[in-house]
Structure 1
Amino acid sequence: MLSLRVGEAVGSCAVEPGEVGEDVVLACVGEPVRKLLRHPLPAVRIAALDAHLQHLRPHHEHAEAVHVERGDSLRKSLHRSEHVVNLLPSGVRRVLVVGVVNSLLQRLRERGIGYVACDRKGGRTEWDEPVITDAENALDDCDAVLASGMVLGSGTFHTLLDHARRTGQPLVFFAQTGSGILPHFLGDGVTAVSAEPYPFFWLDGGPSVLYRYSEVAS
């Protein structure tokens, strides 16, 4: 995860191991935001924009704060997933989950909601279900999308947003990457966002805060 700070705000973008070297990170220190927003690496641009927008529009002034209870990573992940899944509109029957998190899939299973698991790494879920790697081909088989903010850096974001704008189907994000960026698309393709700025829930066992945005609340 690459994180950059602007004032009190920290913006982040998930990266693969080795994708952003230490030299790149050190070169960002002390640079003006306007320069970082023109950086050749997308991850740097996303993290800088995320921090800049959170600095201008802090989550706590515009969203519903919800608390994740203290505990180990599994307990906190399950609690977080409950808040995230609650953002899906009622009546949803089959969800395309882009960015597989097993605790989210567990919550969907508990509610009897079907899903298609999608992640660029592929593999299998905890329940030995196949994880597809191409989100676009599964969109028409689902009536909602639940996606990680990591799609901002993977190139999938515009595919999901265009589909939601064209069809009107719900598009909900759970975001560590781009938590300050995605709420700006509410009402313009995005239905709701669970924004989780740094520090993330898995960094310690204490309580954490999520910020929930929805079209109604915005």
Structure 2
Amino acid sequence: MTTTSHPPALCFDALLDQALRGELGPDPSARRISVAFTTSQAVRHDGRRGGYRNEVLSLRLGRAVGSCAVEPGALPAGAVEDCAGADVAGLLAHPLLPVRVAALDAYLTDVTPHAPHHGAQPVTVPAGSSLERSQARATAVVDLLEVPPGGTVLVVGVVNSLLYELRSRGLTVVPCDLKGGTTDWGEPIGTDALQEIERCDAVLASGMTLGNGTFDALRGSALRHRKPLVMFAQTGSAVLPRFLGAGVSAVCAEPYPFFWLDGGPGTIHRYRAGDGGHGTVHRGRPDDGGTS
């Protein structure tokens, strides 16, 4: 049975409720998180206008790790310690959304690991520098888009390597991020993705939309406007494939450990609402790294 054979989830909270009721796998109250940790990253590449920081909450459940990116410093003191040793059901009902997302991601990764028999198409990201590996990942992500030549793509969650890859294919980019600011090309970054969807041919969005609570509105809007929505996901890599066919057309899932943690080869997993291939992504042009 593949992931795409499951009825698509109606919304994140509905999927969470299904997990809590034991409808997606073993009783979550009988499973405990053994390890909780955060990964904090600061990046400043030569030749770039500036740097950035990332922070990710990760929870270990057996062999599985679930993750949710957060704004650096946003997790309250004691949040990580509270997760270690806690039962999954309690964390699925936790007051902090990033904890709920990471817990659901860990649970679903354990229940349906990223594997071909669950609908995943493995893609190798070759060894290399952080810039080389970032561009290789960007190639794998952008390959999931079905956009006409010269089309326009709304990018929600700005990652420079993705912007570079889209531009290299002659596509117009509409960047959007809650932080605002400007791109490395000096373009303004919008803060309201829902206002931009109608004028774009497709949407490419970060899994971080799960952790900040904007995913359901974005997915619903893409569905209403009949725009393909492709997710690139370090956050919720096992959660987002559950929305294939319900507003999500494809997912590039990248469970922990992420490409920016290591210089060796790694595997990401692509899911499509339809059929797709698999293989190795060759190194492309260097550009920024980034999280989901």
Normalised TM-score (structure 2): 0.73
How far off is 1:21 after superposition? 3.3
CA distance in 2 between counterparts of 1:207 and 1:7 reads 24
CA distance in 1 between counterparts of 2:108 and 2:186 reads 39
After the TM superposition, which parts of structure 1 deviate over 6 Å for at least 4 consecutive aligned residues? none
Contact 2:69 2:235 in 1 (8 A): yes
1:78 is aligned, of 114, 123, 135, to 135
- Larger displacement relative to structure 2 (179-188 or 123-132): 123-132
Which residue in 1 is equivalent to 2:255? 197
CA distance in 2 between counterparts of 1:128 and 1:32 reads 47
Contact 2:176 2:193 in 1 (8 A): yes
Partner amino acid for 1:38? A
Partner amino acid for 2:100? R
Contact 2:59 2:65 in 1 (8 A): yes
CA distance in 2 between counterparts of 1:174 and 1:17 reads 20
Which residue in 2 is equivalent to 1:52? 107
Which residue in 2 is equivalent to 1:43? 98
CA distance in 1 between counterparts of 2:247 and 2:102 reads 22
How far off is 1:167 after superposition? 2.3
Question: Structure 2 unaligned runs (5+)?
Answer: 1-55, 277-292
Which residue in 2 is equivalent to 1:176? 234
Which residue in 2 is equivalent to 1:7? 62
Partner amino acid for 2:248? V
How many residues are matched?
Answer: 218
Partner amino acid for 1:54? T
2:81 is aligned, of 26, 31, 36, to 26
1:210 is aligned, of 265, 268, 291, to 268
1:151 has 2:215 as partner: no
Partner amino acid for 1:120? L
RMSD of aligned alpha carbons: 1.2
How far off is 1:190 after superposition? 0.4
1:132 has 2:190 as partner: yes
Secondary structure, in 3 states, of the residue corresponding to 1:48? helix
Partner amino acid for 2:195? N
Secondary structure, in 3 states, of the residue corresponding to 1:81? helix
- Larger displacement relative to structure 2 (20-29 or 142-151): 20-29
Secondary structure, in 3 states, of the residue corresponding to 1:59? coil
CA distance in 1 between counterparts of 2:226 and 2:63 reads 36
Bigger radius of gyration, 1 or 2?
2
Partner amino acid for 2:218? L
CA distance in 2 between counterparts of 1:167 and 1:138 reads 11
| 1:87-136 residue CA offsets vs partner (Å, 9 max, x unmatched) | 00142610100000111011111111111001111111111111111111
How far off is 1:22 after superposition? 4.5
How far off is 1:217 after superposition? 3.4
Contact 2:83 2:91 in 1 (8 A): yes
Which residue in 1 is equivalent to 2:72? 17
How far off is 1:43 after superposition? 0.6
